[in-house]
Chains A and B, each alone.
Chain A
Amino acid sequence: MSDTSYVRTEMLEQREPPASTVGVIGWARANLFSSALNSVLTLVALGFVAYILSALIPWTFQSVWNAESLSECREIMIATWGSTHGHACWAVINDRWLQMLYGFYPSHLYWRVNLALVLTLAALAPVLFSEKSPRQMIYLTLAYPFIMPWLMWGGSIWNPISAAVGFAIVFFGTRHLTAMTGSLIAIIASVIAALLWWMAISAPVVAGLSSVIPIGIETVQSREFGGFMLALLLGIVAIGVSLPIGILLALGRQSDLMIVKAICVGFIEFIRGVPLITLLFVASLLLNVFLPPGTNFDIILRVMIMMTLFSAAYMAEVIRGGLAALPKGQYEGADSLGLNYWQAQRLIIMPQALKISIPGIVSTFIGIFKDTTLVSIIGLLDVIGFSTAIRADANWNGIYWELFAFIAVLFFVVCFSMSRYSMYLERKLQTGHKR
């Protein structure tokens, strides 16, 4: 009588899905033409894209590459296509691309910038693709922070070496003193020793060594730096240094130590509450007021410090988000095994918190990299500053689109690479629930 009882007598075999739901047709049906309205919208959208491309492609490709000035460009356009409208004058890029890339950097020393760029990529390899690059490359990464500035600014070889010695003092001091005095005192003592070395001892030592063994390369002044090179330089330093500082700030903000916490919170909130451009003006104008007269504190170095601090404050908040997303059980798991605070942070907490924060971290990286163009406002000739300078030349007066398109492409290539890398990294680190 009852319909609720049912017993299956034979099991069904697996069948093919209907032909209209698979392959190209199936895809187009599902995604483009699933209803009358969607079909109309698809056609309208395709028409819009076609319209944009029909203007953009001729502008880009039916263009003038060889000319001495904008007026010559226009003459060629009229001679060729009968109008100046809808054609790009890439001749300005052809004429000035070296300046837009290298600024006023001496042209016979371009190789040093190029070498520094190659070194940057090589030094990044062990960090970005840890399992695909040989282990020894990590030594290059460690040496990079000293070699790169030396290549860029030149000068005596003893300068980067003395800077490296300071870090060696911290490293070995911490390592050997820890057994005797405990880790905190060892770190403080080593840092003081290193500061003493940098502030007082290293200058005469470098001077002495330079007079005895004068090895060095031609010096380049900071005012000769410019163009896209400057953006890359500022970006690399701000990105590379702000991540570790951001991690420390995020940890400090969660610390139980009242004063550490107050300092970190105060720093983060202050920096985030002030526009970057204000900080840059402080770097370019105000610092001179506060520094003792006669100190020559390089303008690019000052800008680097400001951009790094700015980026670090944002980084700290992004990483704090990652830390907050970790279940408390991870801390307890680490604690229950007897790992100390720094071991737990390094082995358990940070790998997971950073992984969670990758999208935010890379956004901050991309943001600070593009913000490097703000230095044009305080008078550094970065690539934007140069585009203005080029327009000031009577030959190229009135040219906008081509310069900005070129700048946009330069930035896009770098930012898009960062974005793609972050997606690759997220996929690589995905260990959560794949079965």
Chain B
Amino acid sequence: MSDLISDRNIDRSKLQVSDEVAIQITNMNKWYGQFHVLRDINLTVNRGERIVIAGPSGSGKSTMIRCINRLEEHQQGQIIVDGTELTSDLKNIDKIRSEVGMCFQHFNLFPHLTILENCTLAPIWVRKTPKKEAIETAMHFLEKVKIPDQAHKYPGQLSGGQQQRVAIARSLCMKPRIMLFDEPTSALDPEMIKEVLDTMIELAEEGMTMLCVTHEMGFARQVANRVIFMADGQIVEQNEPEEFFNNPKSERTQQFLSQILGH
């Protein structure tokens, strides 16, 4: 599991974390009906941080990052993204969403639009970028994820790994300051996982603030500056990756790590 990626050598000294706060979550609680999914979440993310969120399924990791761009609504507590508090005010929500990029497990590309149209849609309609400029930006990011030659195909014609890279490029076209990844490699074949992780590593090297829910522990070890372990809707443990993997403190974490790394 842990040796899935490795042929890229990351210069960790390049990965700078600033003092500026990007996301501040205070005492957040969320319920689905009677079920208490997120319990007293407190988390501060500084600009430039790469945080990997791990934990067993049903522990609330996805729900937590989906709260950050309001795909899920929290019922108690406070979330401040880039200085804007998430309330039910639609203007704030749209503003935050346009500044926070998100990649999903199932890509969620728009199948009726070409790759290029997928990438230019939001800049044109949300940012009001002129079409020509939007296309230039889109081609720039498609080159970055190494699929410029597929620009005029439809998502259904691409492989899973390519689709996920398009999804990343589509988010980047909005020039986000924060990227959220919700299990971006879970629906991919092993050989495609690497190409997506490589793209994510490149993003990290450029200083993007990233929150990744993932089971790729190799990626966590190599890229993350902080690993958060969640269970039963709570943050159980967080630490630097070395410390987290080699010397987990809580019993719940030890149990989890032994299960996923044990064989």
Residues in chain A within 8 A of chain B (CB atoms): 327, 329-330, 332-340, 343, 347-348, 351-352, 355, 429, 431-435
Contacts and interface: CB of A to CB of B under 8 A. Distances in A.
Contacts of A434: 154, 156-157
B111 A337 contact: no
B110 interface: yes
B61 interface: no
Interface of B: 69-71, 90, 94-95, 97-102, 104, 106-112, 121-122, 125-126, 154, 156-157, 170-171, 174
A351 B104 CA distance: 22
A333 B108 contact: yes
B98 A432 contact: no
Minimum-distance CB pairs A-B, first 4: A338-B98, A333-B108, A337-B122, A329-B108
Nearest to B174: A337
Contacts of B102: 336
Contacts of A334: 110
A336 B110 contact: no
A59 to B, nearest CB: 49
Nearest to B95: A338
A333 B126 contact: no
B71 A329 contact: no
Nearest to B109: A333
A227 B89 CA distance: 56
A352 B98 contact: no
Contact of B98 (A337, A348, A429): A337
Which of A338, A431, A434 has the largest number of chain B CB atoms within 10 A? Answer: A338
Given A351-B112, A431-B112, A432-B111, A329 B97 contact: no
Contacts of B70: 335
Contacts of B122: 337-339
Given A337-B174, A355-B112, 13 more contacts: A329-B108, A336-B102, A337-B121, A338-B94, A338-B122, A339-B126, A340-B94, A351-B112, A431-B111, A432-B156, A433-B156, A434-B154, A434-B157
Determine which residue in B94, B101, B104, B112 has the highest number of CB atoms from chain A within 10 A of its CB, and name it: B112
A424 B59 CA distance: 48
A332 B63 CA distance: 13
B110 A340 contact: no
A68 to B, nearest CB: 59
A333 B94 contact: no
A336 B111 contact: no
Contacts of A352: 110-112
